[in-house]
Amino acid sequence: MAPVSTRGVILRTYRIGETSKVVVCYTRDYGKVRLVAKGARKIGSRFGAALEPMMVSGVVFYLKEARDLHLLTAADIERDDVALRRDPVRMAYGSALVELVDRLVPEREPVPGLGEALEAGLRAAARAPEEDLDALLWRFAMAIARRLGYEPRTDRCVVCDGPPGTEPGFSPRLGGAVCPECMSCGAAEGAARGEVAVLALRLARGERIGSAGLPASLRDKVTDVLLSFLESHTDRRLELRSLGFLSQIRRMEQRSRKTEGPS
């Protein structure tokens, strides 16, 4: 059996045996695969940093149709967004992107355009203004939803099929806009209202919006609504560890500002 070669993004790794590890990688040609990297945990391993999470690497491996694990023979870095490893905030957002792919995409099922979208998202997470990183996460969440076939409905009310009205809500569970009448009668329990719903619906329509200038509490609510939508329609839990890490960073920054006091 001849090895195959492709380009991919490293999603995560875990140990196997005494010196090896399994590399979960989203590849453009074969979708998500799990690769055994023998000796990768040894000092001076030939794989170097090519197997670090969020790294874009060229990988060569033996693809075995009836197996869950495939033997990795070579890996070389093709792009390294250094800022994702040096800046903890950017690292958290980049990690959120790869976590979404890892949690939502089945193995060995390539999703057209997803590899390119993930690489573009990681590149943006390394370069975009920090205040726009929430919007980057939102847009990627909606992009992956559309690519997996879970696009929210925005043109009609998901409860009564009538016009959404001028001030609709957004129901993660039902999958889209809820007209004011259905909102008022409680037909869409848990639906978002107000500015959270407005932003969620704009993102669902594919509008390119930013998060700069929005209060942190509003940004967090929009993120929660979009993740709840993905959870409801993929039956996957999305308690992203990266966002928990980001919350810890923010709490530490708030404590530091309080300790320093006014200048």
Domain segments of the chain as ranges:
4-80, 85-257
What pLDDT, on a 0 to 100 scale, did the predictor assign at position 211?
Answer: 97
What pLDDT, on a 0 to 100 scale, did the predictor assign at position 199?
Answer: 98
Q: Which of 16, 21, 28, 17 is nearest to 52 (CA)?
A: 21
Angle between helices 216-234 and 194-204 (to 10 degrees): 60
Alpha carbon 10 to chain centroid distance?
A: 13
Intervals of the chain under pLDDT 70:
260-263
Q: Which homologous superfamily does the CATH classification assign to the domain defined by 85-257?
A: Recombination protein O, C-terminal domain (1.20.1440.120)
Let me know if the fold of 4-80 is the same as that of 85-257: no
Strand partners, 69: 34
What pLDDT, on a 0 to 100 scale, did the predictor assign at position 260?
Answer: 67
The amino acid at residue 110 is: P
d(CA 161, CA 105): 30
Residue pair 138/222 in contact by the 8 Å Cβ criterion: yes
d(CA 123, CA 139): 14
3-state secondary structure 75-134: EEEEECCCHHHHCHHHHHHHHHHHHHHHHHCCECCCCCCHHHHHHHHHHHHHHCCHHHHH
d(CA 260, CA 262): 7
Q: Which homologous superfamily does the CATH classification assign to the domain defined by 4-80?
A: Nucleic acid-binding proteins (2.40.50.140)
What pLDDT, on a 0 to 100 scale, did the predictor assign at position 254?
Answer: 77
Full-model pTM: 0.93
Residue pair 142/203 in contact by the 8 Å Cβ criterion: yes
